[in-house]
């Protein structure tokens, strides 16, 4: 499956890009994140390191609580990885 992943804030700096098409085996969030971690080591450090509590995953505009790695994904989905956004 191929999914668009968007990075914001420190995650964009860590990934070296603001968005990428990610091809991965499977159709779940867990499988996608595994590929993201493999491809971008510095993003993995942010997702799993001391700052992990600030990472927010947003799928098609809705935040994923938890998030559950079994969350199913479909072609055309957009996953955003961002820090907590507090606005003005």
Partner 1 sequence: MERGYNNRTLYVNLSTNEIRERPVDRKMKDTFTGGKGFDLWLLWNALPKGRVTGWDDPENEICIACGPLGGTTLYPGSGKSICVTISPLTGSVIDSNVGGFFGPFLKFSGFDALEIQGRADREVVVFIDGETRRVVIEEAGDLPADTHLLVPALGERFGGGNPRSISTVTAGSGADKSLWGHLNFSYYDLARKSFHCKQAGRGGIGTVMRNKRIRALVVRYPKVTPELNAPADLEALKTGGRRYSNEIRELDPKQNEMATIGTTHLVTIMNDHDLLPTRNFQYGSHKDAASMGREAFRKLFHPGFDGCWIGCSVACSHMQKDFQPRTGPYKGQKVWVDGPEYETIAGCGSNLGIFDPATVTELNFYCDTYGLDTISVGTGLAFVMECYERGLLKKEHTGGLELRFGNGEAALELLHRAARGEGFGAIVGQGIRRMKEEFAGRFGADKKLMEDIGMEAKGLEFSEYMTKESLAQQGGYGLALKGPQHDEAWLIFLDMVHGYLPTFEKKAEALFWFPMWRTWFGLNGLCKLPWNDIVPPENKQTPEPAKVMQHVEWYAEYFTGVTGRKVSVEDMITMSERVYNFQRVFNLRQGFGTRRHDTVPYRAVGPVTAEEYESRKERYDKQLREKGITDPEGKGTQEKVAALRKYREDQYEKLKDAVYKRRGWTKEGVPTLEKIKELGIDFPDVVELVRKHQ
For position 86 contacting partner 1 by CB under 8 A, the verdict is yes
Where in 1-30 is the site for partner 1 (CB under 8 A)?
6, 8-10, 12-14, 18
Candidate segments 23-31, 33-41, 55-63, 68-76, binder of partner 1 by CB under 8 A: 55-63
Host H or E run for residue 32:
helix 29-39
**70/36 Cα distance (integer angstroms):** 16
Among 21, 25, 41, 61, binds partner 1 (CB under 8 A): 61
**27/21 Cα distance (integer angstroms):** 14
The helix/strand/coil state of 9 is helix
Among 50, 74, 75, 76, binds partner 1 (CB under 8 A): 50
**CA 69 vs CA 10, 31, 36, 62: distances in Å:** 22, 8, 13, 15
Give the footprint of partner 1 on this chain (CB under 8 A).
Answer: 6, 8-10, 12-14, 18, 46, 50-56, 58, 61-63, 65, 80, 82-88
């Amino acid at each position: 499956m191929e999914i668009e992943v968007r990075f914001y804030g420190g995650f964009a700096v860590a990934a070296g890009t603001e968005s990428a098409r990610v091809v991965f085996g499977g159709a779940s969030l867990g499988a996608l994140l595994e590929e993201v971690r493999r491809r971008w080591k510095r993003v993995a450090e942010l997702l799993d390191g001391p700052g992990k509590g600030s990472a927010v995953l947003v799928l098609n505009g809705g935040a994923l609580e938890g998030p559950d790695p079994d969350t199913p994904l479909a072609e055309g989905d957009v996953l955003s990885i961002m820090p907590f956004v507090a606005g003005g």
